[in-house]
Amino acid sequence: MKELALKVFRQPPDRLNCAQSVLHAWREVVGGAAITVAELKPFGAGRASDGLCGALYAACLLAPSREEELKAAFAARLGSLYCKEIRAAKQHPCADCVAQAAELLGGKH
């Protein structure tokens, strides 16, 4: 799932954001979801609820029963759940966040 998400993240022709890229990968691997890729357009670049990383936000939307597990593992790997904090630390580019969220989400579905 990680490779599928990275393949479309910010790449032409669609230039999907972090949240959209995770959803796209989910749809390719698992199948349908109640939300569309277009609906996640507003949730990239730190605009997800509570300032969450958009990639993590999408993962939590897709696997709500695993939200706490996903958040804990994501924070352990990237140091934060929040886009602005991750960016400010300058240790992980957005592509890392997409990769980690997709990988964590793909672990179980």
pTM over 0.85: yes
CB-CB contact of 109 with 29 (8 Å): yes
Report which secondary-structure segment, H or E, holds 22. helix 18-29
List the chain domain ranges: 2-106
| pLDDT digits 0-9 by tens, 17-54 | 999 999 999 999 998 778 999 999 999 989 999 999 99
Structure tokens at 90: 């300058």
| pLDDT digits 0-9 by tens, 53-90 | 999 999 999 999 999 999 999 999 999 999 999 999 99
